Amino acid sequence: MLFPGQDVFVAGIREAVTAAPPEQSPLDAVLAAFTAGSDWFDRHREAALRHRQFLDAHADLRERERAKAAALGEAIADALHARGLPDPAATLTAAVCVAAHQLAAARWLADPEQGTFGHHLRAGFEDLRRTARTW
């Protein structure tokens, strides 16, 4: 009830990453998969805000949110493996992409100007690239 459509979302991300053009970098393939459906989130912003507030008020449900993120990471890693990316690169890429997605979602929900989720995804992945260059 709290996480409707999660299986469909994860399957769609897996399919999109797997089907991405071979010349597309792993990071760009995941970003493209995330942004392809980002307008759905924009149309459901108020529900997402209520969802976030409910999770913030119920610590026992946050474990379910972590499991959801783990499932998304596993699906992305599987898709990257299918594209030929070996481990540890596939698992690391999936983990940082999920983290960038979560950060983008938090920024999107907190944005007083209500910028699009796609905008926040692209900005989050650019932050990821910029940060990775400093490692």
Could you read off the pLDDT tens digit of each residue along the chain, which spans 135 residues? Answer: 345 678 899 999 999 999 999 999 999 999 999 999 899 999 999 999 998 898 888 888 888 888 889 999 999 999 999 999 999 999 999 999 999 999 999 999 999 898 999 999 999 999 999 999 999
For 128, the token pair is 């990821």
Cβ contact 55:62 at 8 Å: yes
Does pTM top 0.75 for this prediction? yes
Per-residue model confidence (pLDDT) at position 2: 43
| Separation in Å, CA 68 to CA 4, 62, 85 | 11, 10, 23
Q: Could you give the angle at which helices 59-82 and 45-57 cross, rounded to 10 degrees?
A: 120
| Distance from the first to the final alpha carbon of the chain | 40
Per-residue model confidence (pLDDT) at position 4: 62
Per-residue model confidence (pLDDT) at position 99: 96
Per-residue model confidence (pLDDT) at position 1: 38
For 91, the token pair is 């698992």
